[in-house]
Copies of this chain bind each other. A is one copy, B any other.
Amino acid sequence: MSSEAFVTLATNDGYALGALVVAQSLRKVGTQRQLVVMISRNISNIIRQTLETSFDEIVVVEELNSHDEEHLRLLSRPELGVTFTKINCWLLEKYSKCVFLDADVVVLQNIDDLFEREEISAAPDAGWPDCFNSGVFVYKPSKETFTKLLQFANQQDASFDGGDQGLLNAFFSNWRSADISRHLPFTYNVTSNTFYSYVPAVTQFRNDIRVVHFAGALKPWQLTYNPQNEQLSGNLGGQQTIQREFLLAWWKIMYERVWPQLSKHNQNQLHGGFTGSLLNYGSLTNEQGVQAGSAAHRRAWESGHVDYHGRDSFTNIQEQLQKNLGQQQQPYHPSQQRQVTPPKSTPASANTTQQQQQPTGETTSSNTGASGVLKTTTTTTVETQEKK
């Protein structure tokens, strides 16, 4: 079992918060498998440190190299960038079998039985159920498969939806008709659009739901959570009651299991305390930025697009914090640093000591494949001492 792992992917801070909830929700339901997160280099330090305490392994995925003709040809189709990032999961050959989970899911019940399934096992997509949804799938890491996927992706129109789901469905094209055992129950990947389209079924099978997938435009980390009354606020218009409850489930894990660690790293870096009450993207990432708080800026935060080197640089945040310390607490506004307190379950002493990291190795693998389309470097950076 130690050679089996859950794998997720975070390409910005928003999804990284999601990845933290994925990890903690898996630990909460008692998984016996390793937890791996693939990240791109733009994840902020505070979040990366927290990822290191939550996951057993972090794999840094390099950006596409644009220095040769083949790469440029690929880069003329920028939408495939994220696709290529995701299929890097096939390079994790130290694991005999893996389950990939998108970072916008929350695990409600143990799903370790998924490792009894074979590649590729996935649940039907509620939009077009002859396709599987690529938010949850069982696979076998293999450089050979990775190379074939790259070659396949290099064909024109390889992905009918411009993303990894279209690509993987085209590659594993016999999923629909070959083997019923590779059809995961829908309860292992209940996408949020379902909450609107067939409410009686959601109600009927609700207790069977193991994984909820916030696949729509609204991500849980775009909301604000009040732990005092356990209420959510934000862009909740039109959300069904049942979806609100799942969003709340996500936030409870965030508040009880993720936020204490985030807060700890915040304090270590900022040498200050947080004594507010509401949690939102800004309070969690400490990346609210300092300029204006324009609507565009807020949207950028909410989708996890943070300008680390300019508008949202760490120096600027520190300056803004100094200013905010003299202000009264006000209703949330993007330009204002929200103050938060750790939940009561967090030992106070944990707030002052940074977790020690123990780098255990760095491996680099490059792939040029038959098509020679891409060099991909994976870097195993740390294994944390803390295993929960």
Contacts and interface: CB of A to CB of B under 8 A. Distances in A.
B126 A128 contact: yes
Interface string A161-175: 110001000000000
Contacts of A201: 125, 127-128, 130-131, 160-161
B161 A205 contact: no
A178 interface: yes
Interface stretch (A1-9, A47-55, A134-142, A185-193): A185-193
Contact of A160 (B129, B130, B179, B203): B203
B186 A129 contact: yes
Contact of A130 (B176, B186, B200): B186
A124 interface: yes
A176 B160 CA distance: 27
A152 B385 CA distance: 56
A187 B130 contact: yes
B131 A129 contact: no
A160 B193 CA distance: 19
A127 B198 contact: yes
Contacts of A204: 160-161, 166
Given A177-B180, A178-B180, A127 B197 contact: yes
Contact of A179 (B131, B161, B180, B186): B180
A355 interface: no
Interface in A185-235: 185-187, 193-194, 197-198, 200-205
B166 A176 contact: no
Given A176-B185, A179-B180, A197-B197, A128 B205 contact: yes
10 contacts: A123-B129, A125-B198, A126-B127, A126-B197, A128-B205, A130-B186, A166-B204, A180-B180, A180-B183, A197-B197
